[in-house]
Amino acid sequence: MELISGPTSHWVPAKSARLLAWERVMHEAVAATREGQWRVAHAHYAQALALSQALFDALDCPASRPDDTLAAFVVTRLNVADLQRQGGEFDLAAHGVCGAHRALLALTRDDAMPEPVRRAAFRHLRETHAALLAHLAGQGACPNVLHALRLSGMPFALQPACALH
């Protein structure tokens, strides 16, 4: 009798209560933003930042779901930066995205981190890199943004019209 094996699957831990709470809070923050309820949106985003940071801080545990955790970390910071830009706080928005970019870079280079975490961090760097380039295109050169891009070793500009000096 031949044994037939099914597809190999990797066990994926269930979403943690903290990740589920982050999803709920982010949904509320986005809804408040769409409705123009800025104070409510700010409050929800502050909560989402705290939850995503707690998830990020637990990345080295086996059940951390690195892709979901880093998505929460990055999406929260990008959404907060969008809200800050809408309010004219361009430097503050850039600072948050730079911090997220540097944190992801640190994960990719941390040999003590599990390989799935390092791979997920590398994948999510694309999002922060794109946000940093968008900041340069919209606001011009900013030392903090330029420094974050130099750290990553990724190309600065995709078009010659973007002046970086």
Parse the chain into domains and list their residue ranges.
17-152
What CA–CA distances, in Å, run from 92 to 80, 109, 160?
Answer: 10, 26, 26
Among 144, 142, 64, 156, which residue's Cα sits nearest to residue 99? 144
List phi, psi (to 5°) of 125.
Answer: -60, -30
Among 141, 142, 131, 145, which residue's Cα sits nearest to residue 164? 141
pLDDT at 13: 57
Look-up of token digits 């990345």: 59
CA dihedral (86, 123, 49, 153) in degrees, to 10, reads -70
- Buried/exposed code over 89-115 (b: 16+ C-beta within 10 A; e: otherwise): ebeebbbbbbebbbbbbebbeeeebee
What CA–CA distances, in Å, run from 156 to 64, 92, 137?
Answer: 32, 20, 10
- CATH code, residues 17-152: 1.25.40
CA atoms within 13 A on the CB side of 5: 3
Q: What is the pLDDT along the chain (165 residues), one digit of tens a residue?
A: 444 444 444 545 567 889 999 999 999 999 999 999 999 999 999 999 999 999 999 887 766 789 999 999 999 999 999 999 999 999 999 999 999 999 999 999 999 999 999 999 999 999 999 999 999 888 888 888 888 888 877 655 544 444 444
